[in-house]
Amino acid sequence: RAGKALAGQVQRVAIEQFLFDRQFRSLTRAADALGIGVIGDIPIFAAHDSADVWANRELFHLDKKGFPTVVAGVPPDAFSDTGQRWGNPLYNWADHTIFRWWTARMKRAFDLFDLVRIDHFRGFAAYWAVPSSSPTAVDGEWIEAPGPALFEHLEREFGPLPVIAEDLGLITPDVEDLRDSFHFPGMRVLQLGLGTDSIHSPERFVRNVVAYTGTHDTDTAMGWIGDPSLPKSEKAKALLYLGVDESSFNWGLIGAAMESIADLAITPLQDLLGLGSGARMNRPGTESGNWQWRFEWTGLSDAVIERMRTLASDSNRER
């Protein structure tokens, strides 16, 4: 009945996906010709209203009407006193076909991208399960996930996996063991480690990590250093550590990432352009005002391009 009633809408979406796929393939071919790789980003969980959940209900914890019985989130942390209740249905890892579904999902991701960053990687070791009736994430519990068995299965299918593990937040030894046993690079965010004895401090980096000046969840570099709520002592320590003044803080941060021993270094465009908090991409735990910043080519001047080219050369990151 739905197939007949929604046939026009389904066809429209199918055409849009076909056109997008064709355009994306054209983009990646052009990038490949220039020696540029493309990193993709996939969420660990699927949306409740997605085709994945609709077509594979047995793979998720749903009731007889198709509504989640437990949902995903994270416990209270520095971002939120009540945690984050994401609302995604959780996987029914007991179903014997779920590894087949994950194989198809990763095959598609590897087909699209040269390297795939999996968000909320810790959910493959243990995930925070929140009763669907709970309005916040406070009443959840940790439940063990079969991450080792899953990635062993995926390695048998694909060989060494081109994966980046998003390992930020509350990371326990089991998550580190899972990441390291499959040699996945983790993430290091300089904003979290300037002048501190932290794994996010450049002198504590190891090679098999990806160094970020900031991520989509943090403020921009210039927004962070210019935040009036940032303690003066912390601000002074950061500037002293990088050897820059506030006006060039973004370039000091970019230089620290590029000159570190991390195998990969990533700079958000907002930091490359020296933009403030108005260009921030996302504020975790908030429901509005996110994902609205848009890049304009006019902001990428020849001076910025040349400065980045020089940094890449000086730090031996030219490809």
Residues labelled as active-site residues: 119, 166, 217
3-state secondary structure of 43: coil
Q: What gap in Å lies between CA 19 and CA 168, rounded to an integer?
A: 35
Q: Which of 141, 144, 143 has its CA nearest to residue 130? A: 141
* Class of residue 251 by CB neighbours under 10 A (exposed 0-12, middle 13-18, buried 19+): buried
Measured from the Cβ of residue 115, the count of other Cβ atoms closer than 10 Å reads 18
**Gyration radius of the chain over CA positions:** 21
Strand duo 126-131 + 141-144: pairing:
antiparallel
Is the Cβ–Cβ distance between 282 and 229 less than 8 Å? no
Q: What are phi and psi of 253, to 5 degrees?
A: -70, -45
3-state secondary structure of 91: strand
Is the Cβ–Cβ distance between 307 and 251 less than 8 Å? yes
Q: Which of 190, 183, 218 has its CA nearest to residue 204? A: 190
Cβ neighbours of residue 317 under 8 Å, at least 6 residues apart? 258, 265, 311
Instruction: Report CA-CA distances (Å) from 68 to 120, 147, 214.
Output: 20, 22, 33
Residue whose structure tokens are 């997605």? 50
